């Protein structure tokens, strides 16, 4: 593989020059949050109305079997930007790899060292104060001066942003004690206040950046909070759907019965959310809110894609769109993420631009952690200090028909817990607490755990061998009040 990299780079650069483009491609890095695979271009049930993401898919490659690098926001984003899994960094539940491992060079720093201008906005890292890796950015957009002076929290829902009236709004919370904050809240805001939304402001900033001429190549990364809960968005996106026509995903009443005992107990407790929604006859309403916010997210992505198409950079910009993880809506009794099952791991993952084949849908197995090494190859960036743990998919992007499938690794929230995934099988191990095995071609809903079948002992052994031999201890627990030091418009973590 290493011997092939220079050759592949020559081919890519040669192709760009032949097409009249600059030799060094720009990168537009688009992130959405909690978005599962209910895209129009993935033909799922339910299915969101996503015309802008669909046209991006038609321009490039749509990976239908792409998987996250962490089972919720913080570890997924830490893995993407560090190029290393939680089993190496210890970021099983945290995002601050840059505290425990300051030698790690984040993705944007590699771009900066490669001669790029680097621009960032919105939810690229985790959203609390202190979670953004500040290194390597030419400019990072925040909506207010107060955010810069308080550790760069995103504050996507704050006093300046619109809320539904009444608030709380959803049937889940109506007339009841609110115990989950904004969790599972949904509701419409007035259409006329769309420009006041935090995500809209971030997108508009990115549009302005694309409209500007530049002497140097750029890495423009913008992440939006949608469709992360609370599912608030303008009324017009709710109006795109008839709640009476919304179908819920497939459920199985005894789905948890064949899980390892400890996992069954915890997931049975978790299923109380689904049972409550069933009791309120609110499942379709909750899905309605999520679908509406998927369509809002799609409209925001459309603004950026339109701006790119109209810009001087249209022909020389690699576009990648990704979601940090998927989301359960009652499948396996769960609402949310944090699992090693398909609903959490499978994510939208689309590429387009120079060096990328057009209008291809493929079920080749890939991981979000593959982005960092892929950019190193396609953009000829310097190798960072740390060893990257993904694989470059540059050759796959160029000629997907010639690529072989592979297995990818996904760590869970504790050392020794993980999944190994390919297009045929999903193997899950919970340390000493049990295991699961699914034949995903036969059983795409993962309803039948085959781990106890002696016929599969060899397969399980082979898949276990793909996991790390050792697992890092969990990273340092940092306390927002005690350890975050604000220094003017920047911040740092200190543990005394």
123, 33 Cβ separation under 8 angstroms: yes
Q: Name residue 42's beta-bridge partners.
A: none
How far is Cα 378 from Cα 355, in angstroms, rounded to an integer?
8
Catalytic choice (73, 91, 293, 379): 73
List C-alpha distances in Å: 139 to 119, 164, 295, 485: 5, 32, 28, 21
Contacts of 375 (CB under 8 A, 6+ apart): 27, 107, 110, 111, 381
Catalytic choice (41, 67, 101, 126): 126
Distance of CA 217 to the CA centre of its chain: 25
Alpha helices in 365-456 (DSSP H): 371-378, 394-398
> In what order do the strands lie in the sheet containing 408-411?
408-411, 417-421, 425-430, 435-439
32, 124 Cβ separation under 8 angstroms: no
List C-alpha distances in Å: 149 to 28, 64, 309, 485, 490: 28, 41, 36, 10, 7
List C-alpha distances in Å: 94 to 89, 131, 137, 377: 10, 9, 21, 28
List C-alpha distances in Å: 344 to 72, 106, 244, 335: 8, 25, 26, 10
Question: Annotated catalytic, 126?
Answer: yes
How far is Cα 471 from Cα 469, in angstroms, rounded to an integer?
7
Question: Annotated catalytic, 338?
Answer: no
The H or E element spanning position 98 is helix 97-100
**Max Cα distance, the chain (Å):** 65
Strand pairing category for 328-329 and 335-336: antiparallel
Question: Hey, which residues are catalytic here?
Answer: 73, 126
């Amino acid at each position: 593989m290493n011997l092939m990299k220079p050759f592949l780079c020559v081919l890519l650069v040669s192709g760009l020059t032949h097409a009249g483009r600059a030799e060094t491609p720009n990168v537009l890095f688009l992130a959405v949050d909690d978005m599962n695979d209910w895209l129009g271009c993935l033909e799922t049930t339910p299915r969101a109305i996503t015309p802008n993401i669909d046209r991006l898919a038609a321009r490039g490659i749509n990976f239908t079997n792409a998987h996250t690098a962490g089972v919720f926001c913080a570890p997924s984003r830490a893995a993407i930007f560090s190029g290393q899994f939680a089993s190496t960094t210890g970021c099983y539940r945290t995002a601050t790899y840059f505290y425990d491992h300051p030698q790690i060079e984040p993705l944007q720093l590699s771009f900066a060292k490669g001669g790029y201008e680097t621009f960032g906005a919105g939810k690229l890292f985790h959203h609390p104060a202190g979670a953004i890796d500040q290194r390597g950015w030419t400019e990072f957009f925040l909506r207010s001066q107060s955010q810069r002076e308080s550790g760069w929290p995103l504050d996507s829902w704050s006093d300046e942003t619109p809320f539904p009236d009444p608030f709380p709004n959803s049937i889940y919370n109506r007339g009841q004690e609110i115990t989950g904050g904004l969790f599972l809240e949904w509701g419409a805001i007035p259409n006329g206040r769309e420009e006041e939304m935090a995500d809209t402001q971030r997108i508009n900033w990115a549009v302005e950046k694309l409209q500007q001429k530049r002497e140097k190549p750029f890495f423009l990364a913008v992440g939006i909070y949608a469709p992360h809960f609370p599912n608030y968005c303008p009324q017009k996106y709710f109006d795109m759907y008839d709640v009476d026509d919304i179908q819920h995903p497939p459920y199985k009443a005894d789905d948890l019965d064949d899980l390892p005992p400890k996992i069954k107990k915890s997931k049975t407790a978790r299923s109380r959310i689904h049972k409550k929604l069933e009791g309120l006859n609110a499942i379709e309403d909750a899905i309605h809110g999520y679908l509406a916010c998927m369509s809002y997210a799609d409209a925001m992505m459309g603004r950026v894609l339109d701006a790119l198409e109209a810009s001087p950079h249209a022909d020389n910009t690699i576009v990648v769109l990704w979601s940090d993880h998927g989301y359960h809506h009652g499948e396996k009794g769960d609402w949310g993420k944090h699992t090693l099952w398909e609903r959490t791991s499978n994510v939208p993952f689309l590429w387009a631009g120079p060096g990328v084949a057009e209008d291809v849908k493929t079920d080749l197995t890939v991981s979000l952690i593959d982005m960092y090494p892929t950019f190193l190859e396609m953009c000829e960036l310097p190798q960072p200090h740390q060893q990257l743990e993904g694989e470059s998919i540059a050759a796959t992007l160029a000629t997907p028909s010639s690529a072989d499938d592979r297995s990818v690794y996904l760590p869970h929230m504790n050392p020794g817990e993980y999944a190994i995934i390919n297009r045929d099988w999903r193997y899950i191990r919970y340390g000493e607490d049990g295991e699961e095995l699914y034949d995903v071609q036969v059983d795409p809903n993962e309803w039948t755990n085959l781990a106890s079948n002696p016929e599969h002992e060899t397969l399980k052994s082979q898949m276990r061998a793909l996991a790390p031999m050792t697992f890092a201890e969990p990273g340092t627990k940092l306390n927002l009040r005690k350890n975050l030091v604000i220094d003017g418009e920047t911040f740092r973590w200190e543990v005394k």
